[in-house]
Amino acid sequence: MNIPSCITALVCPKCEQSYDHREIRHLCRCGSPLLVHYDLERAARIVDTGTIKNRPATLWRYQEVLPVLDDRNILSLGEGCTPLTPLSTIAKKYAFGKLYMKDEGVIPTGTFKARGAAVGVSKAKELGVRDVAMPTNGNAGAAWAAYAARAGIAAHILMPEDAPRITRNESVAAGAQVHLVRGLISDCGKILARSIPIHDWYDVSTLKEPYRIEGKKTMGYEIAEQLGWQVPDVIAYPTGGGVGIIGIYKALKEMRRLGWIGDKLPRLVAVQAEGCAPIVEAYRKKAKESEAFPHSQTIAFGINVPKALGDFLVLEAVYQTEGCAVAVSEKEIIEALLELASLEGTFVCPEGAAVLGGLKKLRDADWIKAGETVVLLNTGAGIKYPDTLQYNLPYCPVDGTV
């Protein structure tokens, strides 16, 4: 059955060249990622927030502003509509007005990469794609392998050998062809670029196809809906390739055009690890683009991206909303992780913990004012990172007491 998607075109944010969305497209001919455009006036006429409220609790409830045209192509594992959990103990401790965690740890595959994969693979199916291929640090590979399996599409995945074993196993179990590389994700990308023309695979590298952003932007729609179509003062996001923060910014602008939120947008904060902080460096220099970050390293492997293709879009989202970019040390990540687990019962991934580390710094500097409402994005489940914490615990003898 047809879905009333209001998609109109793929448009380049750099040179404004427009492309037909019914054809397979990757980057613009100028090299920029492409963004999906919708007829938002039409969307505002055919759907309102009251209708959306009564739809099933998945990201597909925003179908008018998603790119899939026929619901037979929708591949869903129930992704989206994740909880917006109040963190009241931590809010009190640091005098945030309200602090919420958008918890993507409970989504299928355990990371928010499922959103991009659900929409990306569904659209790939609609476009007749038979093979998807990508380089990954792990989480994206696991998510795309899962949805590709559901679609009956072959997945070809290149991972650095030190990508987490769990994501490797998930991808193989889902039937993906997984190649390990003795190198970084950038090396995986180079091998893929050489291989794609040989096999005619559909390149789903970060931002090289336009639809992953569309899946991830639904986090922005959900935050507004969960706050009663109000926006918070600040949304903070662990930034690697930048798809999430670009998507949330896109969602905010779309919702404003739809009349679902007011004029004021939240300040968007990009949080990075000190060991890989190209966006933070660029922000300090007030630059429009980032420079490749040398010898990047962090336990938060999902944000270990030395140079993102969409860096200029991340920086635009930060500047346009009067947000900022902040880096945290590995020690601060672990401290925040333990604080979240022990004070709130939320065992998050190191990327999510990094965000709390960043927010504490911004509160300390009074960049976030006492009383402001803040949303922290936790992008994945802590249980997907079994090696982040290492404890040597004392044993109790079996005939002993404690």
Ligand X SMILES: *Cc1c(COP(=O)(O)O)cnc(C)c1O
Binding positions for Zn ion, rule: CB under 5 A = 12, 14-15, 17, 28, 30, 32
Helices 212-226, 113-126: crossing angle, 10 deg rounding:
130
Please say which residue, 222 or 372, places its beta carbon nearer to ligand X.
222
Size of interface with ligand X, in residues (CB under 6 A): 16
Question: Which pair of structure tokens corresponds to residue 178?
Answer: 């997984």
Please say which residue, 18 or 342, places its beta carbon nearer to Zn ion.
18
Least distance between Zn ion and beta carbon 27 (Å): 8
339: three-class secondary structure by DSSP: helix
Least distance between ligand X and beta carbon 384 (Å): 8
Closest by CA to 327, choosing from 299, 301, 359, 295, is 359
Q: Among ligand X, Zn ion, none, what binds residue 292 when CB lies within 5 to 8 Å by partner kind?
A: none
Least distance between ligand X and beta carbon 66 (Å): 18
Contact 229, 223 (CB under 8 A): no
349 contributes a contact to ligand X by CB under 6 A: yes
Nearest residue to ligand X on Cβ basis: 302
Please say which residue, 6 or 147, places its beta carbon nearer to ligand X.
147
Contact 104, 128 (CB under 8 A): no
Contact 35, 210 (CB under 8 A): yes
382 contributes a contact to ligand X by CB under 6 A: no
Q: Among ligand X, Zn ion, none, what binds residue 244 when CB lies within 5 to 8 Å by partner kind?
A: ligand X
Please say which residue, 51 or 297, places its beta carbon nearer to ligand X.
297
Phi, psi values for residue 302, rounded to 5°: -70, -20
Annotate each residue in 116-155 with x if it binds ligand X (CB under 6 A) or - if it does not, as one string.
-----------------------x----------------
Closest by CA to 300, choosing from 224, 387, 223, is 387
Q: Among ligand X, Zn ion, none, what binds residue 241 when CB lies within 5 to 8 Å by partner kind?
A: ligand X
109 contributes a contact to ligand X by CB under 6 A: no
Question: Which pair of structure tokens corresponds to residue 32?
Answer: 């920029």
Please say which residue, 170 or 351, places its beta carbon nearer to ligand X.
351
The footprint of ligand X on residues 280-319 (CB under 6 A) is 302-303
108 contributes a contact to ligand X by CB under 6 A: no
Question: Which pair of structure tokens corresponds to residue 18?
Answer: 């427009």
Contact 360, 343 (CB under 8 A): no
Among positions 120, 210, 215, 240, the unique one binding ligand X when judged by CB under 6 A: 240
Question: Which pair of structure tokens corresponds to residue 152?
Answer: 């009956």
243 contributes a contact to ligand X by CB under 6 A: yes
Question: Which pair of structure tokens corresponds to residue 188?
Answer: 């995986």
Per DSSP, the residues of 153-173 read -EEEEEEETTS-HHHHHHHHH
